[in-house]
């Protein structure tokens, strides 16, 4: 899923930005400012949307989100996203690559998940500032359900708002900007023996994709790829790390995402901003590298071509305990690097369907393979099923909720190279 120039923060050298700098009234054709909820002190959790369809999901166009400032004293990510907003808005219809990006992706940007903490951060400090936690004194980065262990915490207003947001939108990928280290960290942050954590590395079934995503960011950053720019911090080969290898963390947002440490110091004085934004700009002559891996997208349909919600589409060898299920539009998205894959689609009331697809390298034109599955006999009235609330990954269990496939090849194939970010 060619995920964006957002894979490498393209940021102009701008200053004095404010979130109200981009009100919808200025660019109503491709921006929409909305709130997903309130903080403890009642501040709006604001999100700026950018895309061709500002107020509603459109079939075939994936959703992407960026979040920053989860820790209120980690202000660098917040400022970087404000600069990114400015860059995308001012480049749209001027820069061909950015125009294609905005037209082919629904981009949601939340500069601050912890606005109360940000307001409480009065004095910049490289180690700890008063506003790190929310106003209930809770660490929002440890306040989500955990897929490996029970996380006995009281979910905070900010966390609940983000969880409801995730349920509402069909996000394909996301990223979370932190501060205090210069590294691109990837899934998993917690683990058990089933994910290899006994060896100090908690590996997801899509490890190849996440490593590629992390390297895409790191290698395009001015210094992150060196892996040791913070001096007193540990070194990170190629500027990336598996989250568990770095340190174990329970209760982090488990959605498909890749957190990044944007700077060694989480709260930089303003005099360092020119250099910081320059470091996060795309390297010269790399303007074609605006997307990360491609993959496969499409719909699961019944014999009347009615979308089937709640269907499962998986790649062989990547059977997740809680697999991606199609939304009410019957859509699925699989993050896959170029190569040959066997896809398995299953839905209530019918046998599974297998098909083999060759995923191309579609980076040059923001494209990916589109493949629609036809499942005769499947019910289009079933709603998307939710994953269990309790921990999902148990030791030595990698079974999927999908049925065993039959050797039936009833896929309805539409081999199109369509915009896929």
% helix, strand, coil for the chain, step of 5: 25, 25, 55
pLDDT band at 415 (very low <50, low <70, confident <90, very high): very low
In the prediction, which pLDDT does 250 show?
Answer: 78
Residues 6+ apart with CB under 8 A from 1: 62, 172, 173, 292, 293, 294, 295, 297, 333, 334, 335, 368, 420, 421
pLDDT by residue (tens digit) across 118-138? 999 987 777 777 899 999 999
Per-residue pLDDT, averaged over 110-116, amounts to: 97
pLDDT greater than 90 at residue 264? no
pLDDT by residue (tens digit) across 344-402? 999 877 888 999 999 987 655 566 799 999 998 887 665 555 555 555 554 434 444 44
- Mean pLDDT (the chain) is 79
SS (H, E, C) 5-60: HHHCCCCCCCCCCCHHHCCHHHCCCCEEEEEEEECCCCCEEEEEEECCCCCCCCCC
The two beta strands, 44-50 and 106-110, are antiparallel
**What's the full length of the chain, in residues?**
421
Per-residue pLDDT, averaged over 294-315, amounts to: 92
In the prediction, which pLDDT does 286 show?
Answer: 43
pLDDT by residue (tens digit) across 208-261? 999 999 998 899 888 899 998 887 668 899 999 999 999 888 766 555 544 456
Write phi, then psi, for 302 (nearest 5 degrees): -90, -175
**Tally of CB atoms within 10 A around 63:** 22
Higher confidence at residue 23 or residue 340? Answer: 340
The two beta strands, 353-359 and 106-110, are unpaired
């Amino acid at each position: 899923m060619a995920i964006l120039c957002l894979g490498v923060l393209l940021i102009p050298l701008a200053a004095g930005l404010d979130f109200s700098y981009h009100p919808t009234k200025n660019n109503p054709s491709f921006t929409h400012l909305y709130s997903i909820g309130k903080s403890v002190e009642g501040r709006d959790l604001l999100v700026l949307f950018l895309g061709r369809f500002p107020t509603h999901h459109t079939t075939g166009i994936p959703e992407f989100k960026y979040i920053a400032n989860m820790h209120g004293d980690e202000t660098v990510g917040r400022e970087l996203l404000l600069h990114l907003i400015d860059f995308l808005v001012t480049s749209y219809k001027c820069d061909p690559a950015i125009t294609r990006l905005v037209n082919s992706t629904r981009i949601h940007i939340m500069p601050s998940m912890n606005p109360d903490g940000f307001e409480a951060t009065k004095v910049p400090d490289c180690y700890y500032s008063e506003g790190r936690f929310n106003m209930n004194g809770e660490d929002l980065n440890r306040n989500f359900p955990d897929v490996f262990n029970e996380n006995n915490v009281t979910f905070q207003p900010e966390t609940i708002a983000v969880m409801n947001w995730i349920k509402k939108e069909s996000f394909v990928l996301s990223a979370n900007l932190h501060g205090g280290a210069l590294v691109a960290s990837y899934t998993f942050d917690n683990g058990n023996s089933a994910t290899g954590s006994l060896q100090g590395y908690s590996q997801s079934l899509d490890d190849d994709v996440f490593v590629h995503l992390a390297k895409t960011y790191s290698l395009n950053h001015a210094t992150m790829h060196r892996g040791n720019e913070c001096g007193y911090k540990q070194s990170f080969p190629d500027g990336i790390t598996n989250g568990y290898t770095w340190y174990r963390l329970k209760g982090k947002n488990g959605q498909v995402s890749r957190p990044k440490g944007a700077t060694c110091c989480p709260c930089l004085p303003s005099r360092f901003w020119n250099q910081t934004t320059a470091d996060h700009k795309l390297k010269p002559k790399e303007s074609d590298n605006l997307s990360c891996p491609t993959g496969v997208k499409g719909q699961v349909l019944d014999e009347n071509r009615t979308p089937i919600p709640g269907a499962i589409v998986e790649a062989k060898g990547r059977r997740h305990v809680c697999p991606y299920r199609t939304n009410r539009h019957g859509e699925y998205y699989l993050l896959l690097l170029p190569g040959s894959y066997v896809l398995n689609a299953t839905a209530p009331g019918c046998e599974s369907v297998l098909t083999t697809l060759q995923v191309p390298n579609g980076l040059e034109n923001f494209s990916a393979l589109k493949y629609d599955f036809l499942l005769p006999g499947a019910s289009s009235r079933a709603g998307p099923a939710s994953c269990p609330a309790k921990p999902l990954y148990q030791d030595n269990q990698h079974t999927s909720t999908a049925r065993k496939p039959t050797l039936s090849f009833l896929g309805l194939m539409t081999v199109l190279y369509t915009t896929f970010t």
